[in-house]
Amino acid sequence: MAPASYIILDRFPLTANGKLDTTALPEPGDVDTESTPTSPRTPTEEVIAGIWRQVLGIDRVGVHDNFFTLGGHSLLAAQIFTRLRAVFRVEVPLRALFEEPTIAALAARVERLRQVPEEVPPPSAASRPARLPLSSTQQRAWFFEHWEPDSPLHNIIAGFRMSGRLDVGKLADSFTAVVARHEALRTTFTVEDGEPWQVIGTAGSVDLPVVDLSRVPDQDDVVRRLATAEAARRFDLLRGPLLRPTLLRLAPEEHVLLISLHHIIADGVSMAVLLRELAHFYRGAADPLPELPFQYADYAVWEGAPERRPALDRQLEYWRAQLDGVPALLELPTDFPRPATRQFRGASHAFTVPDRLVDALRHTSSREGVTLFMTLLAAYTVLLSRHSGQHDIVVGTPVAHRPRPELENLIGYFATTLPLRTDLGDDPTFRRLLHRVRDTCLDAYAHQDIPFEQLVEQLTPVRDPGHTPLAQVGCDYQRVPEAVIEWPGVRLRPLEPAPGNGTSKVDLTLSFTESPAGLTGTFVYLTDLFTADTVERLTERYLTLLEGLVGAPSRRVGDNPLLTGSEQALLQAWNTT
């Protein structure tokens, strides 16, 4: 006999003795077997359901559906909460979604907080001064540009193979339309009274150089070399332009598009906005894009507004406590002595996480109520601790930092770095470490409005030019939802291998990319410190650690194997001689 209906619960109700409380189970009632999700029952639930559908890209959601089961993760959670803040004008902690990841529970919290007073007004173009200041992130990029003027450290590049009948003129016009829409893409900089200022240029046609490689042998090698050269070509911040598109023609219906920008005017999210709007204009969409309420320069003015200071001071107090007594340096064993001054010369080593291991990682993450990134980060802290012999580990992670919905479609440099501190001194189990890392991440996300540059100024007044302050290692995670992008008559897919600029901002960064093809990782490292062989061994040991940690989450992290099978065999052979 099959049940007439089902009700999916987030958790079973328990008695004080820890047994199932059958009296607290909900009544099935009359359930529509064609539609299991429970529809919103209040205006608040209805609005939140609409936000979920929009952010998650789904058509239907029930008020008891689990956010993470629907495909949610921490980055999408941040978008959910910026929309909640804008719509309901309340501050719901991000932790709430991890504790009770349903619309019903979230709506109940919102209703309880409806009387919270309004926050600082949003940025506005009406209050633009005669001279436009740099944002805090731009100031840091400006500083590094003048400290290392010949380094491509802040160059951003993306490459795409384009297959099909490309209309080159229409593509150039699309770039022109996007640049006209976003002031940041036509911004240069000037110095007055010893201070840098933004200068907004007038909108004009964008130059799209076309390089004909149709008669060139070994095209893949030539494309790779041209992409590397473009990634390393420096920008002139005073004269511009700070956006450089280049089209490589391989055949009548085969092209490669290279897009390079300086970080001072854009970030990773900006590149996604740029691609989305290029597609809109190339398609000749009938519906115009929504008008931007303000531009990046207005955000830079708003960021420094005096009325924001009290809230920022409260966040600064959190960071003072969180980073009190933090080690000045993570002393990983290096192949070469650390130079007195950083040179930022870098290289990378890419790897693929086996699908079977990815499935185990997802299962562990779901069971422990953490995101996949948190699980990968926790394992990374174990690797760093085991290699350095230190138990107080600080890892920098980039966040989009677009705290208002109006910022999501704007091109500009918003991204900042959060220093995530993890204590492994008590040799916790991996399960306990996961919860510890989750709490650290959620608290950091809730206090991300303090720019990293200001944290450095406030917390590390004395700096060592030989290493980055606060965090010398990094970890980041991004999702690429579509491997192929469809334009009218043209298919775009990312250029592989992805072009890089040959630099590293910190000693060692572990980056992950999740796509329909699977989960890939990349170690980016300073070549003044590490050899390629050392980083390859680190990769193999990290994968070995992942296997052990997710296989036995109740085991203490220090008891997990670190050496690979071949290293263990070699060690055993040494011990027997």
Which tens digit of pLDDT belongs to each residue from 144-162? 888 888 889 999 999 999 9
Q: Which CATH class is domain 327-575?
A: alpha beta
Q: Distance between the two ends of the chain, CA-based, in angstroms?
A: 67
d(CA 211, CA 559): 56
**Residue with the two structure tokens 């027997």:** 576
**Residue with the two structure tokens 């590049």:** 157
At 488, which amino acid appears? P
Q: What is the pTM of this model?
A: 0.82
What's the mean pLDDT in 401-408? 85
Tell me what pLDDT residue 31 has: 36
Q: For residue 49, which of 102, 92, 109 has the smallest C-alpha distance? A: 102
Q: Which has more confidence, 136 or 148?
A: 136
**Structure confidence by residue, pLDDT tens digits, 354-396:** 999 999 998 898 778 788 899 999 999 999 999 999 999 999 9
Q: For residue 62, which of 112, 18, 105, 95 has the smallest C-alpha distance? A: 105
Tell me what pLDDT residue 30 has: 37
Helix H or strand E segment including 311? helix 309-322
Q: Does domain 22-112 have CATH number 1.10.1200.10?
A: yes
d(CA 344, CA 328): 19
**Beta carbons within 8 Å of 556's beta carbon, 6+ residues apart:** 427, 428, 429
Please report which residue ranges of 343-422 form alpha helices under DSSP H: 355-368, 372-388
What's the mean pLDDT in 324-336? 95
d(CA 467, CA 166): 46
Tell me what pLDDT residue 469 has: 92
Q: Where are the domains of the chain?
A: 22-112, 126-283, 327-575
Tell me what pLDDT residue 125 has: 84
DSSP characters over 212-230: E-TT-SSHHHHHHHHHHHH
Tell me what pLDDT residue 311 has: 84
* 7-16, 275-284, 394-403, 507-516: range with lowest mean pLDDT: 7-16
**What are the tokens at 513?**
């990319």
Q: Do the domains at 22-112 and 327-575 have one common CATH topology? A: no
**Structure confidence by residue, pLDDT tens digits, 478-531:** 888 677 889 999 999 999 888 888 999 999 999 999 888 899 999 999 999 999
Exposed, middle or buried by CB within 10 Å (0-12, 13-18, 19+), for 338?
A: middle
d(CA 408, CA 14): 42
CB 413 within 8 A of CB 141: yes
Q: How confident is the model at residue 567 (pLDDT cuts 50, 70, 90)?
A: confident
**Beta carbons within 8 Å of 149's beta carbon, 6+ residues apart:** 234
Q: How confident is the model at residue 90 (pLDDT cuts 50, 70, 90)?
A: confident
Q: Which has more confidence, 171 or 127?
A: 171
**Structure confidence by residue, pLDDT tens digits, 344-358:** 999 999 999 999 999
Tell me what pLDDT residue 116 has: 37
d(CA 420, CA 443): 10
Q: How many C-beta neighbours within 10 Å does residue 522 have? A: 19
**Beta carbons within 8 Å of 460's beta carbon, 6+ residues apart:** 469, 470
* 12-16, 157-161, 327-331: range with lowest mean pLDDT: 12-16
Q: How confident is the model at residue 5 (pLDDT cuts 50, 70, 90)?
A: very low
What's the mean pLDDT in 206-234? 95
The three-state secondary structure class of 77 is: helix
CB 473 within 8 A of CB 384: yes
DSSP assignment, residue 132? Answer: B
Q: Can the peptide bond before residue 497 be classed as cis, meaning omega within 30 degrees of 0?
A: yes
Q: Which has more confidence, 558 or 517?
A: 558
For the domain spanning 126-283, the CATH number is 3.30.559.10
What's the mean pLDDT in 528-538? 97
**Residue with the two structure tokens 């979920």:** 52
d(CA 499, CA 232): 10
Tell me what pLDDT residue 29 has: 41
Tell me what pLDDT residue 575 has: 62
For all residues of the chain together, what is the average pLDDT? 88
Tell me what pLDDT residue 186 has: 97
Residue 436 pLDDT exceeds 70: yes
Q: What Å distances lie between residue 493 and 136, 180, 280, 388, 488, CA to CA?
A: 34, 26, 17, 39, 14
Q: For residue 240, which of 204, 286, 281, 278 has the smallest C-alpha distance? A: 204
- Among 12-16, 80-84, 88-92, 255-259, the range with the most confident prediction by mean pLDDT is 255-259
CB 346 within 8 A of CB 524: yes
Residue 118 pLDDT exceeds 60: no
Percentage of the chain beyond pLDDT 70 is 90
**Structure confidence by residue, pLDDT tens digits, 29-76:** 433 333 457 777 766 787 788 889 889 988 888 999 999 889 888 889
